[in-house]
Chains A and B, each alone.
Chain A
Amino acid sequence: MTTSPLRHRAAPAAPAHPDPLSVTTARPGVDPTTLTVVKARHPWRWLAAAVALILVAQFVNGLATNPGWDWPTFARYFTAPVVLQALWLTIQLTVYGTVLGFALGMAVAAGRLSKNPVLQTISWTYVWAFRSIPLIVQLLFWFNIAYLYQSLSVGVPFGPSLLTFDVNSTISGMAAAVIGLGLHQAAYSAEIIRAGILSVDAGQLEAAAALGIPRRRQFFRIVLPQAMRGILPNAANEVISLFKGTSIVSTMAIAELFYQVQVIYGRNGRVVPLLMVATVWYILMTTVLSIAQYYVERHYAKGALRTMPLTPWQKVRRRVAAFTAAGRPDAAGGAR
C-alpha cells in the first residue's frame, strides 16, 4: 500500500510535442513522473527477524509446556482475594508514596531554586541526606522510631505542647512505610522537578515579568506547563520504580503483594507460580502506568510540536480504514 505519486504502472505514451523546458526531452520515451519504484531487497533483515522469531517461539513454547510453571496454581491464586487485597495495599503504598514524595519534592525544589540562602542550604542538605541513606535502612529507622521518640507533640517550638501522640500506636508499620517511601521519593522528585524548571528558557520568565504577570501565575501558567515536558518522563520512571520498590517493605511484614505471595509459597511450596502471580500483576500495573504516561505527556506536548503524531489507537483505526477502502474495487489509492 503506497501513496507515492510515482506508482502508476499504466504509463502514458511520451507526449507528441515535448515541452522544451521539461527534463523528459533529455531521454525520449522516459517520463520521470511516471516511473515505477522497485524497492531495495533486504535478505539479512529477513534472516535476522526469522532467527529472533524462532527464539521467541521457543520461549513461548517453554512457558506453555514446561510443567514447572504450574499454570493451574497460577490461575488459582492470580485473582484470589488475599492476593487482590495485597495488590490493593501495594497500590495504596504507591499512591501515598507518590503524593507525599512529589508534594514534598516540589517544596524542596522550590527551596533549592529560591533566593533565600537558608532555604537553599536546607533543601540541598535534605536531598544529600535522603539520597545517601539506602531506602531499606531508612524504612527500618522509621519502623523503630518509637525507640528514639516515645511521644510526638504538636505545640509552640521549644514551648508548651498542645497535642501529644504515642508514637508506637500512631506510626503503624504502614505509616512508617509510607513516610519512608515518601521521604526517599521526595529527594529524587525534587531533583527531577528542579531539572524540569531549569529547562524552561529564561526568556519565558522575562516575557512573563515584562507583561506584569503575577509571580504565582508566572509559575503555574507559564513555567510549570513547559517544565512538565521535562519532568514527566522522569517522574513516570520514578512512579513505576516506586511501585515495584514497594516490595522492599515486605521486610517489615506489611502484607503487600510480594510479602503475600511469599507467605503463600511458604505454606504450599509452589514458589515459581506464585512469583509469576506477583510478576504478572507488576507487569500489568506498569503497563497501565505507561499508557497513562503516554497520554499525559501528549497533553503537555501541545504547542511543542507543529503537528501532533497519531496515538497508537488512531494509527490502528487509520490502518483499518485504509485496508477496508483498498478492499473495494473502485477505491484504488484510497489509503490517503
Chain B
Amino acid sequence: MSLRVGETPTTRPAERADQPDDIIGDPAYAVEILGVHKSFGTLPVLNGVDLRVRRGEVAVILGPSGSGKSTLLRSINHLEKVDRGLILVDSEPIGYRLRGGRLHELAERDILRQRARVGFVFQNFNLFPHLTVLDNVIEAPLSAPRSAPRRRREDVVAHARDLLAAVGVADKADAYPRQLSGGQQQRVAIARALALNPAVILFDEPTSALDPELVGEVLEAIRALAGQGRTLIIVTHEIGFAREVADTVVFMDDGVIVEHGLPAEVLDHPTHERTRAFLSKVL
C-alpha cells in the first residue's frame, strides 16, 4: 500500500463538503504506518516503513543511531511531515483527510486536535521552564480548542495532581522544572502527556538524557502505564526494559524495519545479521 502525498490538494467539482471520508484503516490497530518514506534534503531517513500497532500494545523500537527511529516516532505525531505514504491513528490519517481518493491537507487547527490524542515524551523533557510543574500539566487541558468540551479548572487541577502523584512527584507541584532532577522532570513530562488522556503515547528515548541512577524511576513510571489499555510506542536503548514490558519489538536500520516480533524472538533469536550485530554491541 503506497499513497502519494506530494500532490497539490484540490477539490474536484464532484466532491462535496459533506461527502464522507474514505475509510481505509483497520479498527483493530491504534497506529498504522503504511509505506512511509522521508528524507531530509537529499538524505533519506525512512525508506518505506510499514508497521501496525494493535490497541493496547506496547511496541519497543530498537536500532542504531541514525536508523530513523526518532523520525518515525515524530512522524506519528506529525512533528515531521512524511514525503510518501500514510500514517493512521485510530484509522484516521494524520495531517490529512482522505476523501474521494485524495488526501487533503488539514488546517493547522485540526492537526493540533489530532495531536491531542497522541501523547509525546521527549528525550530532553521539553518542560516549559517558566511554568510551575502543575501549570505544565494543566496547560494543554485548559487550552483545548474551542470545539472541544472545555473542562472546569478545578477538575483539571485535581486530575493533574492525581497524575503527579501517580508518577511520584506530587510534592513538586509548585516547583519550577529547573529545580527538579532529570528523572523528576521526565516523570512530570509523562504526567503532562497523560493529562489529555491520549490513547497512544510515544516515547522518544525517554531515559537517554538521564544519569544512570535516575533511569530506573522513569522506566518504573512507564512500566506502570503498560497494560492499562493504552498503546505505547517506545524508542529506547534499554534492552532489558524492552524484554520486560514490550509486547512486540521492532528493529530498525537504515530507515527500514529489519525485524519485528515478540521480544523473545527478536532479542534472543534474531534472524538478521544486522540485528545480531546491534544486539551484540549493546547487550
Contacts and interface: CB of A to CB of B under 8 A. Distances in A.
Given A209-B79, A210-B115, A221-B139, A204 B177 contact: no
A213 B131 contact: no
A97 B119 CA distance: 45
A206 B77 CA distance: 10
A303 B145 contact: no
A49 B143 CA distance: 57
Given A203-B126, A302-B130, A211 B108 contact: no
9 contacts: A201-B126, A207-B126, A210-B120, A211-B196, A214-B112, A221-B143, A300-B130, A303-B177, A304-B178
B109 A214 contact: yes
A209 B112 contact: yes
B112 A207 contact: no
B65 interface: no
Contacts of A226: 128-130
A308 B179 CA distance: 12
Interface of A: 201, 203-204, 206-215, 217, 221-222, 225-226, 300, 302-306
B109 to A, nearest CB: 7
B130 to A, nearest CB: 4
Contact of B192 (A211, A214, A300): A211
A210 B139 contact: no
A83 B116 CA distance: 60
Given A303-B178, A304-B178, A210 B77 contact: yes
B247 to A, nearest CB: 24
A204 B126 CA distance: 6
Contacts of A209: 79, 112, 115
Nearest to B145: A214
B122 interface: yes
Contacts of A207: 120, 122, 126-128
Contacts of B77: 210
Interface in B108-139: 108-109, 112-116, 118-120, 122, 124, 126-132, 139
B130 A211 contact: no
Contact of A303 (B114, B131, B192): B131
A221 B138 CA distance: 13
B176 interface: yes
B140 interface: yes
A206 B79 contact: yes
B62 to A, nearest CB: 23
Interface string B170-200: 0000001111000000000000110010000
Contacts of B129: 226, 303-304
A213 B179 contact: no
A20 B100 CA distance: 86
Contacts of B108: 215
Given A204-B128, A210-B118, 20 more contacts: A203-B122, A209-B79, A210-B77, A210-B79, A210-B115, A210-B122, A211-B196, A212-B116, A213-B140, A214-B109, A214-B143, A215-B108, A221-B143, A225-B130, A226-B129, A303-B130, A303-B176, A304-B129, A304-B130, A306-B179
Nearest to B115: A212
A214 B150 CA distance: 14
A204 B177 CA distance: 13
A92 to B, nearest CB: 33
B87 to A, nearest CB: 15
A212 B177 contact: no
A226 B130 CA distance: 7
Contacts of A201: 126
A212 B130 contact: no
Contacts of B131: 303
Given A217-B143, A222-B128, A303-B131, A212 B179 contact: no
